[in-house]
Amino acid sequence: MALCKSSINGAAVNLLLLVLLLCSYCSQLEAKTHLHKWDVRYEYKSPDCYRKLVMTINGRTPGPTITAEQGDTIVVVLKNSLGTENTAIHWHGIRQFGTPWSDGAEGVTQCPILPGESFTYRFVVDKAGTFMYHGHYGMQRAAGLNGLIIVSPRLGLPEPFTYHHDRSILLTDWYHASTFDQAVGLSSVPFVFVGEPQSLLINGRGEYNCSLVAKTPAPGTGNGSIPTCNSNSPECAPFSLTVVHGRTYRLRIGSLASLSTISFQIEGHEMTVVEADGSYVEPFVTKNLIIYSGETYSVLVKADQPPTRNYWLVTSVVARKPATPNGLAIFNYYPNHPRRNPRTSPPAGPQWNDTASRLSQSRAIKARKGYFESPPQKPDRVIELLNTQNKINGQFKWSLNNLSLALPSTPYLVALKKKLKGVFDAEQPPDQVNLDSYDIYDVAKNVNATSSSRIYSLEFNSTVDIVLQNANTMTPNNSESHPWHLHGHDFWVLGYGEGTYDSNRDPQYYNLVDPIMKNTVPLHPYGWTAIRFRADNPGAWFFHCHIESHFFMGMAVVFEEGIGMVGRLPSSVMGCGKTKPHRSLG
């Protein structure tokens, strides 16, 4: 009897264990929801030893890294504690299928989040890879409102490479002037450029030369009892990455620089590039990884150098004449002290004006064999965008086909979905300007352009080619690099060319075999870049230069597609422009 009873109990216990086991197994298979509560505010910080107002998330800049598994849902409840400033956050590289209102692009997909208010972003991370987030209101990205998103493949899905450890590095450049100073300067007549940044930061840390700072107390330093610039501040101690000899590290490197194109290198080590913007790359080896603002890469680094000392991690400015010292961090071989500077001098970056080698690195990035989707072989529509620097009513602007984007006060997505009239110019921008008669090597004869809120309407699920054409700026013999970022989609990178694009000749040389899919791509000086994407994501989507000042000066277009298929908009994205609640008089 006793035996029987205990065996029943035993069976029950076994059953319970089985159920528990199954449940933990299903919960591993099931997509999870990750809830993050973020408080966004200004705080005094010294990321490069210079003390200034910085935008933080839960007290940190860069903000917390979001980690998830492919298919999971991310919920971010964002409280705007900025006091007197609006905000919005964009999830860079997340396509937002089915949730276009969570893209965080103020003016396109949502109204700004007012001070004191909270807003909930909810979206699925449908793709594995390395992504980022950042402020998308005014120039807030440049104020430190940024961070990384790391999505691992669904359990059991192997990646086409192996490594021992996974580490992340977020690269930025850093200005001492506030983003308000910068924005006012950019809109002033005469024009005041933001200039070259004061520092390059690696994971939010840099080192400014404090002897260059005036002794007059700066705002926020009281009577001067708090130093404006303090080389000993723990906030600007260099980032140190500890490695063990013989191990292989996956470094996820993202750039959210405001202005700079950055060359990243590790003294004495080579890097194998394996991922770009969430797509696997046919591996190639490099000493200098060129990274444009808005791009992410994963590289594999083997800690194979003599472990008797530390090595430098170096970032340097390329593509513009540098006036910013290199960014430095420490590649620390265990058991050396993580803070011990290598006695060697940091290796110099590549020649800043070596456009040819940057172009060849761009061309080297191909999709990994066996891990890609081939592009449609033909486009349904081709849009050529001539990138020019212009003047509009005396202000300096950037334009595409002579139109500089001016955002309406009602977000496009809301206006389109609710069929609100008179929000933006109804006419579409032109698909082409006559490139044959435009000399890309000279300053335009007439630099006047037009400010416009027009947008491109794309046929749902059609295949669209965009050809970005670079040109001379308003300065003789000058053409700049522009990293272009598309919201809501990945695109195939079909090719890069030098000079003026020829629509008869150049498409023959497109890579339709193994083009990489990315969300950000560089446009090289005096060159062109061709991309292709499927307009398969109902919503309204920004496509813009990722240089913060260029974007602010109108270097953007907007695409809309399949608006009829967009689900019910949450009321939280409304409340501005024509969506203001009607106030009754009296």
Q: Site residues (CB under 6 A) for ligand NAG?
A: 209, 211-212, 222-223, 225, 351, 353-354, 386, 393-394, 402, 433, 438, 446, 448-449, 461, 476-477, 536
Question: Per the structure block, which two tokens stand in for 227?
Answer: 């130093």
- State which residue, 279 or 520, has the beta carbon closest to Cu ion: 520
482 binds, among Cu ion, ligand NAG, none (CB under 5 to 8 A by kind): Cu ion
Minimal distance, residue 464 CB to ligand NAG, in Å: 12
Minimal distance, residue 386 CB to ligand NAG, in Å: 6
- State which residue, 58 or 461, has the beta carbon closest to ligand NAG: 461
7 binds, among Cu ion, ligand NAG, none (CB under 5 to 8 A by kind): none
DSSP state letter for 106: B
Minimal distance, residue 387 CB to Cu ion, in Å: 7
211 binds, among ligand NAG, Cu ion, none (CB under 5 to 8 A by kind): ligand NAG
Minimal distance, residue 98 CB to ligand NAG, in Å: 13
- State which residue, 49 or 558, has the beta carbon closest to ligand NAG: 49
Name the residues that contact Cu ion, by CB under 5 A: 482, 545, 547, 550
- State which residue, 158 or 394, has the beta carbon closest to ligand NAG: 394
The residues facing 529 across adjacent strands are 468, 496
Least Cα distance to 150 among 89, 239, 70 occurs for: 70
550 binds, among ligand NAG, Cu ion, none (CB under 5 to 8 A by kind): Cu ion
Q: How far apart are CA 98 and CA 176, in angstroms?
A: 39
240-243 vs 327-333, strand pairing mode:
parallel
Minimal distance, residue 578 CB to ligand NAG, in Å: 29
DSSP code string of 405-446: E---SS-HHHHHHTT-SSSS--SPPPS---STT--TTS--S-
Minimal distance, residue 475 CB to ligand NAG, in Å: 8
402 binds, among ligand NAG, Cu ion, none (CB under 5 to 8 A by kind): ligand NAG
Listed in sequence order, the residues at least 6 apart from 273 whose beta carbon sits closer than 8 Å to its beta carbon are 281, 283, 284, 285, 286, 289, 297, 298, 299, 365
Question: Per the structure block, which two tokens stand in for 333?
Answer: 């071989």
Give the CA distances from residue 342 to residues 50, 242, 268, in Å, rounded to whole numbers and listed in that order.
Answer: 24, 13, 12
Q: How far apart are CA 271 and CA 303, in angstroms?
A: 10
Q: How far apart are CA 440 and CA 501, in angstroms?
A: 10
Is residue 133 within 8 Å of 63, Cβ to Cβ?
yes
Interior CA angle at 243 toward 240 and 248, to 5°?
130
- State which residue, 9 or 475, has the beta carbon closest to ligand NAG: 475
Question: Per the structure block, which two tokens stand in for 306?
Answer: 């003599």
Minimal distance, residue 544 CB to Cu ion, in Å: 8
377 binds, among Cu ion, ligand NAG, none (CB under 5 to 8 A by kind): none
545 binds, among ligand NAG, Cu ion, none (CB under 5 to 8 A by kind): Cu ion
581 binds, among ligand NAG, Cu ion, none (CB under 5 to 8 A by kind): none
- State which residue, 8 or 189, has the beta carbon closest to ligand NAG: 189
Question: CB count, 10 Å around CB of 196?
Answer: 15
> Which residue's entry shows tokens 């009281």?
222
- State which residue, 454 or 524, has the beta carbon closest to Cu ion: 524
- State which residue, 251 or 256, has the beta carbon closest to Cu ion: 256
Minimal distance, residue 294 CB to Cu ion, in Å: 11
